[in-house]
Structures are given as structure tokens and as C-alpha cells.
Amino acid sequence: MDISVRQLGKKYAAVAALHDIDLDIASGELIALLGPSGSGKTTLLRAIAGLEPIDSGRILFGAIDATRLSVQERQVGFVFQHYALFKHMSVLDNVTFGLRMRKRATRPPRAEIRRRGLELLTLVQLDGIADRYPNQLSGGQRQRVALARALAIEPSVLLLDEPFGALDAKVRKELRVWLRQLHDETGYTTIFVTHDQEEAMDLADRVVVMNAGEIEQVDTPAMIARQPKTSFVAEFIERKAGHADMSGVPSRA
């Protein structure tokens, strides 16, 4: 589904966190929201999900105006930086949660729910751990369970908040490649937030560079590298991955 953001504005106390954001995302695209801490990228992602109330503007999911829709009605697949798995549920129960929460009329029968759950676990390459609990898994495994859980509801859009932020560098690279493959297989419109420009440039079809609540540039990684529109973009892209003041800082604008 294509996603459009029109004139989106959001303020925290008198400070503008998002300032008249306009963004069009085509169906099936893999988009990175890139920027330093406090640039508003996470706020924008959460606003699209409906987790963050906005002050002005509109959010469109295809032809539907989603601005007034609740989080539940938007049916977005959201993956949190720290996974937010349900600790007291098995991996399978985590993955099937969205299906089990459906109203009776649209809920598949129990056997079907189980089958779909196991299928998703195969998709994220986690066969055979359906009965384990989140605290028995590694970080990378947890993140993949979180992704399977988000995919289970057949989301209108997949939103990932710093999906690899809490993982070590090696796992991060592996998962990056894997996420690209998964995206190409499933074709969900995907938006992910990152402060790591290498990750954004490597993975995304288009990169949205943000700074201080505004969009600096939206372009393909190649164009951003070749023709940065502003000095901010040029400087930010120059920086090497894992720079001391950028790495590992969870951003919440």
C-alpha cells in the first residue's frame, strides 16, 4: 500500500518535533528514515503507526485517510527497537497474537492460526523454537520473532524502529542482508528508522534524511551520495558508521 504524509506537524511543549512534513512512499518500497537523535524520525514513524498523536496534517494509507484511525484500525506491523515481545508467552503465541486478538467473525480456526504461526517462523528462519520463551532467545532471534509477529497481521505497512539498534555489529550486518531478502520476497511497504547512514544507504530503495524535525532530502542512496542537497546531508553522509557520538544512542525525538 502506498503511504502519503501531508503537512504533518507535531509539537512537544512549544518545540516543533515535526515541521510540515510531506512524504510520498510508493507501494512495496523499502524506505529508511535517517537522521541524528532528536531529528524527529522516530516521531514520524510512530505518527504513521498512530502511536503518536499529531497536531496538524494528514496521513493517507492508499486512498484511505488514516489520520483519525486508531492504532488498531491502521493495521500496521510495528517492530520496536527493544523487541517488546510478550515475555510470558511462547514464541508461537507471540507470533499468533495478532490473529488470536481478532474478532470472532474474522478469526481463523485454532488449527489454522497455529499453521500460519509455524509458517511465519519458517519464513524468518526460526523453525523448531516455537515453544521457547523470549528470554531463551538471542537478540537476533528475538528481533526476527518480533518481525514475524508484525507480519502475522498482514500489515498495511511494516514500520521498524531502529530494528538493529540493540544488536552487535556482526548480527546487525547479517540481519540487514536478510531483511532486504525478506522484503523482496514478501513485498510489504517497509519504513525503518536508523541513525546509521551505512545501514540506510545499504538497505533502502530511498533514504529520507531528517534533521531538526524537517526533511532535508529524499532520494536513492546513489543520488544522496553523489548530490547531497544541503550541507547537513553532505556532512551526515560523510560520517563513518559507528562514529562515537552517533552509535547506540536510541533516538526519541
- Candidates 125, 192, 145, 183; CA nearest to 165 is 192
Provide the minimum distance between the beta carbon of 163 and other proteins in the complex, in angstroms, as a whole number: 14
Counting contacts by CB under 8 A, is residue 84 touching other proteins? yes
- Of 147, 150, 203, 209, the one binding other proteins (CB under 8 A) is 150
Q: Which is nearer to other proteins, 35 or 77 (CB)?
A: 77
Residues in CB range of 142: below 8 A, 6 or more apart: 83, 85, 134
Counting contacts by CB under 8 A, is residue 221 touching other proteins? no
Q: Which is nearer to other proteins, 85 or 233 (CB)?
A: 85
How many residues would you count in the chain? 253
Cell of 73: 484500525
Counting contacts by CB under 8 A, is residue 117 touching other proteins? no
Q: Which is nearer to other proteins, 113 or 215 (CB)?
A: 113
Q: Are 30 and 204 in contact (CB under 8 A)?
A: yes
- What does 113-165 look like in DSSP terms, one character per residue? HHHHHHHHHHHTT-TT-TTS-GGGS-HHHHHHHHHHHHHTT--SSEEEESTTT
Counting contacts by CB under 8 A, is residue 149 touching other proteins? yes
Counting contacts by CB under 8 A, is residue 98 touching other proteins? yes
Provide the minimum distance between the beta carbon of 237 and other proteins in the complex, in angstroms, as a whole number: 31
Counting contacts by CB under 8 A, is residue 102 touching other proteins? yes
